[in-house]
Amino acid sequence: MLSVEKINKTFGGLTALFDVSFQAEKGSITGIIGPNGAGKTTLFNVISGTYLPTAGTIHFKGQDITRIRSDRICRMGISRTYQNAKPFEALSVLQNVLVGVCFGRDKRYDGKKARSEAMDILGFLNLQAQAEVSADQLSPLNKKRLELARALATQPDLLLLDEIAAGLIPSETLQMMETIRQIRAEGITIIMIEHIMKAVMGLSDKVIVLHHGMKIAEGEPKEVSSDPKVIEAYLGEEEA
């Protein structure tokens, strides 16, 4: 599904990513963890076309997307969420999702069909009752759900989740984990950045660990969680 090969990204004299490679198989959930400043969100920005890599290549469904614009990458089937939910706060929940349905795909829909699809997505995420509510009035959990709805509205094959459980209380995190499982059951491949270990270890088929912009570990959750290099990276952050 996705192949990332020897990606480097520098900002002036700062190296944010160095020689990062991995693959995400179709239908899988890949977790990406690492201390703050490890390069996780920068990696998402490179994959999604927000940043151009300094070196390296990215292939999606066999096609080189390394230097394709972010809007085109979205229409090819890669969508993402952000650490901080970014809805159009002046619009209703339904209108926010309609933006994705109408503008995030190659094909266009008439108003009636677009509205029907948007309502189906809201129903999937238990947001139908809030369809006409202004986005800025939502609870933290429902803002996260709306962020997911907006991403799903583009009909992605690959979904990049950037700390989708951040700011949620434990019971809400469990609800979000179940939602992610349901999204995967729909056939969508997922790569998720997450600091909540219970979530990333409980959902991921494999976990990738970044530290100072480099991949220091990759494997099944149990294997990675006991890796001395991973333990040292996190303990080092705590002691700093």
Q: Are residues 162 and 64 in the same domain?
A: yes
What confidence category does residue 236 fall into, taking pLDDT thresholds of 50, 70 and 90? low
- The structural domain count of the chain equals 2
Q: Are residues 71 and 119 in the same domain?
A: no
Residue 237 has pLDDT above 60, yes or no: no
Model confidence pLDDT, tens digit, residues 195-213? 999 999 999 999 999 999 9
Residue 240 has pLDDT above 70, yes or no: no
Q: Are residues 130 and 40 in the same domain?
A: no
Q: Are residues 12 and 120 in the same domain?
A: no
CB 159 within 8 A of CB 186: no
Q: Are residues 73 and 116 in the same domain?
A: no
Report residue 144: phi and psi, to 5°.
-65, -40
Place of tokens 């990204």: 9
Q: Which long-range contacts (CB under 8 A, 24 or more apart) does 181-187 make?
A: 182/124, 183/148, 183/152, 183/159, 184/27, 184/29, 187/27
Residue 29 has pLDDT above 90, yes or no: yes
For β-strands 63-64 and 214-219, DSSP reports them as unpaired
Percent of the chain, pLDDT > 90? Answer: 82
Contacts of 110 (CB under 8 A, 6+ apart): none
Q: Are residues 129 and 193 in the same domain?
A: no
Contacts of 113 (CB under 8 A, 6+ apart): none
Q: Are residues 111 and 218 in the same domain?
A: no
Q: Are residues 122 and 63 in the same domain?
A: no
Residue 239 has pLDDT above 50, yes or no: no
Last residue of one domain, picked from the residues 138, 155, 172: 155
Two tokens at 169?
């209380």
Contacts of 82 (CB under 8 A, 6+ apart): 147, 162
Last residue of one domain, picked from the residues 155, 176, 203: 155
Q: Tell me, what DSSP letter sits at residue 92?
A: B
Percent of the chain, pLDDT > 70? Answer: 95
Q: Are residues 134 and 44 in the same domain?
A: no
Contacts of 104 (CB under 8 A, 6+ apart): 74, 75, 79, 153, 154, 155
| Residue range of the domain that includes 117 | 86-155
Instruction: For the full predicted model, state whether its pTM sits above 0.75.
Output: yes
Closest CA to 157 of 81, 68, 61: 61
Last residue of one domain, picked from the residues 135, 155, 175: 155
CATH code for the domain of 188: 3.40.50.300
Residue 92 CB-half CA count within 13 A: 14
Q: Are residues 65 and 170 in the same domain?
A: yes
Model confidence pLDDT, tens digit, residues 138-167? 999 999 999 999 999 999 999 999 999 999
Q: Are residues 149 and 170 in the same domain?
A: no
Cα separation, 165 vs 33, in Å, equals 13
Q: Are residues 176 and 129 in the same domain?
A: no
Two tokens at 4?
């990332």
What confidence category does residue 84 fall into, taking pLDDT thresholds of 50, 70 and 90? confident
